[in-house]
Amino acid sequence: MLYIKDRDNLKSFIPEEKIFEYLETTKNPDKFKVREIIQKSLNKNRLDPEEMATLLNVEDEELLEEIFEGARELKRRIYGNRIVLFAPLYIGNECINNCQYCGFRVTNKNIVRRSLSIEEVKKEVEALEDKGHKRLIVVFGEHPKYNAKFMTETIRTIYNTKKGKGEIRRVNVNAAPQTVEDYKLFKEVGIGTFQIFQETYHRETYKKYHISGPKSNYLWRLYGLDRAFQAGLDDVGIGALFGLYDWKFEAMGLLYHTIHFEERFNVGPHTISFPRIEPALDTPIAERPPYALDDKNFKKLVAILRLAVPYTGLILTAREPVEIRNEVLKFGVSQIDGGSSIGVGSYSETDEEKIKKSQFLLGDNRTLDQIIEELCEEGYLPSFCTGCYRLGRTGEHFMEFAIPGFVKRFCTPNAVLTFLEYLEDYAPESTKKIGAKRIEEEIKNMQDSPLKKELLQKIEKIKAGERDLYF
């Protein structure tokens, strides 16, 4: 196979020695230096590795608070109040890999293996649409059954499944790295972001936890999204799984990955994810991760990622405890999943036992509506917007960041319109009230302008039954 040859010619772009050196030489940083770095980020510049290492080495509580405040300030200045909501949809948990932290791994004999048929996919999508979702991320194990053709057919089915006023307007993907040819099929079907998490950027650690199967090849995965770019997909998401190795090293890995994209493709990643290892069925490592990341350092991680790569979307999983979630949302997290269920078939299935056995993580029991209510109470504006992607404005995070007024011109009005659709079509009375108040506040904060006038007209149209209006 052609791609085997490709694999052999690759070299890692993660300079491990250099990372250790930076993390060592920047210990006990000077406060003026730290302030200078925060300021560089507030001036909308991506940080360099040595600067990120300096921030990672801040232990002084007051200085740490300045980092947190810097992240909050960056969010306030650039991103506004919107939080984009999406749901993960697990299509199949069969897998030929042997990732020690994952309940889907090939050696786990206790998990019930299941792949959704096209009919079952439709049912799941309808159940998600009934809750008000507009954006999904589809998740697949790695298995010959889930080839690119199968995956893209599934995505096509999702786009074509419409129930009542419901429709899925954007499908993101989290799946195994593909060949350039296979990525082209994903481009054809029109996906949003293709996500691949490197899990750990530390090569020895990677080897230790990825024992067999295609995923045991570190470089094939490391270059997985380069091939997506080569196929014309320029909307990619990177991530690391926190708990396998030193969190500071992983944060540096994410930054080097970002720089690699900037240098090679002139654009950084669309999103960065930073899941912490969660318990999984019959998976001892997930019960007790070797480098468990505590809440305090998790907060520090999110704030530093925000400052280091100010233009990128940060994705937080709703499984993080509410207190942590509320704190890190203030640092500029842009997307969270809501009302997620992570068993295969679990949105429409009623057999609880069956769901439990096909699930790989413990679920978050809050419904989408509960999460929306909580977000409103905290002053956020829930958004289901897919405007940029559908108007071909790819790289929207970069535009939000780089084009003055972009958020005010497009993102906030689109958040208002999509949130209003949710309130009209799916929300119970209590959420309707809170939501209407939030929308009122957002509109009050807008200056009188032709844009505001147009928004108010569109709001009336939605109230009268029109859907899918955006700027």
Select from 174, 258, 358, 383 the one that contacts ligand SAM (CB under 6 A).
174
The residue number with the shortest CB distance to ligand SAM is: 102
Residue type, position 215, single letter: K
Look up residue 141 and give its two tokens.
């194990």
Smallest gap from Cβ 215 to ligand SAM, in A, equals: 6
Site string for ligand SF4, 211-240 (x = CB under 6 A): ----x-------------------------
Taking CB under 6 A as the rule, does residue 173 contact ligand SF4? Answer: no
User: Which of 317, 315, 314, 358 is CA-nearest to residue 339?
Assistant: 317
**Residue 286: which of ligand SAM, ligand SF4, none does it interact with, CB under 5 to 8 A by kind?**
ligand SAM
Our CB check for ligand SF4 shows the closer of 53 and 176 to be 176
Q: For residue 83, list its beta bridge partners.
A: 382
Annotate 242-274 with DSSP letters as a single string.
BTSS-HHHHHHHHHHHHHHHHHHHSS--SEEE-
Q: Is 198 helix (H, G, I), strand (E, B) or coil?
A: strand
Angle between helices 450-463 and 429-444 (to 10 degrees): 160
Q: For residue 316, list its beta bridge partners.
A: 336
Smallest gap from Cβ 323 to ligand SF4, in A, equals: 28
Distance CA 156, CA 149 (A): 10
Contacts with ligand SAM in 224-243 (CB under 6 A)? 241
Distance CA 142, CA 94 (A): 7
Annotate 145-177 with DSSP letters as a single string.
TS-HHHHHHHHHHHHH---TT----EEEEE---
Select from 51, 94, 199, 369 the one that contacts ligand SAM (CB under 6 A).
199
Compute φ and ψ for 118, nearest 5 degrees: -60, -40
Contacts with ligand SF4 in 81-140 (CB under 6 A)? 95, 97, 99, 102, 104-105
Select from 52, 89, 191, 286 the one that contacts ligand SAM (CB under 6 A).
286
Our CB check for ligand SAM shows the closer of 57 and 98 to be 98
**Residue 422: which of ligand SF4, ligand SAM, none does it interact with, CB under 5 to 8 A by kind?**
none
Our CB check for ligand SAM shows the closer of 243 and 387 to be 243
Q: Kindly state the number of chain residues that form the binding site for ligand SF4, as judged by CB under 6 A.
A: 9
Query: 184-190 long-range contacts, Cβ below 8 Å, gap at least 24?
Result: 184/231, 184/232, 185/148, 185/149, 185/152, 186/148, 186/151, 186/152, 186/155, 186/228, 186/231, 186/233, 187/231, 187/232, 187/233, 188/152, 189/152, 189/155, 189/156, 189/159, 190/159
Smallest gap from Cβ 95 to ligand SF4, in A, equals: 3
Taking CB under 6 A as the rule, does residue 151 contact ligand SAM? Answer: no
Smallest gap from Cβ 270 to ligand SAM, in A, equals: 16
Site string for ligand SAM, 108-147 (x = CB under 6 A): -------------------------------xxxx-----
Q: Please report which helix (H) or strand (E) contains residue 402, including its range.
A: helix 396-402
**Residue 105: which of ligand SAM, ligand SF4, none does it interact with, CB under 5 to 8 A by kind?**
ligand SF4
Distance CA 408, CA 114 (A): 44
Taking CB under 6 A as the rule, does residue 22 contact ligand SAM? Answer: no
Taking CB under 6 A as the rule, does residue 197 contact ligand SAM? Answer: yes
Q: Please give the distance of CA 125 from its chain centroid, rounded to a whole number.
A: 20
Taking CB under 6 A as the rule, does residue 376 contact ligand SAM? Answer: no
Select from 14, 71, 87, 176 the one that contacts ligand SAM (CB under 6 A).
176
Q: Please report which helix (H) or strand (E) contains residue 289, including its range.
A: none
Our CB check for ligand SAM shows the closer of 257 and 330 to be 257
Our CB check for ligand SAM shows the closer of 209 and 380 to be 209
Smallest gap from Cβ 101 to ligand SF4, in A, equals: 7
Distance CA 403, CA 134 (A): 26
Site string for ligand SF4, 132-151 (x = CB under 6 A): ---------xx---------
**Residue 154: which of ligand SAM, ligand SF4, none does it interact with, CB under 5 to 8 A by kind?**
none
Q: Kindly state the number of chain residues that form the binding site for ligand SAM, as judged by CB under 6 A.
A: 20
Distance CA 295, CA 145 (A): 38
Our CB check for ligand SF4 shows the closer of 57 and 98 to be 98
Taking CB under 6 A as the rule, does residue 320 contact ligand SAM? Answer: no
- β-pairing, 170-174 vs 313-316, is unpaired
Neighbouring C-beta atoms of residue 14, cutoff 10 Å: 18
Smallest gap from Cβ 178 to ligand SAM, in A, equals: 11
Report the interface residues with ligand SAM, using CB under 6 A: 101-102, 104, 139-142, 174-176, 196-197, 199, 241, 275, 277-278, 280, 286, 361
Report the interface residues with ligand SF4, using CB under 6 A: 95, 97, 99, 102, 104-105, 141-142, 215
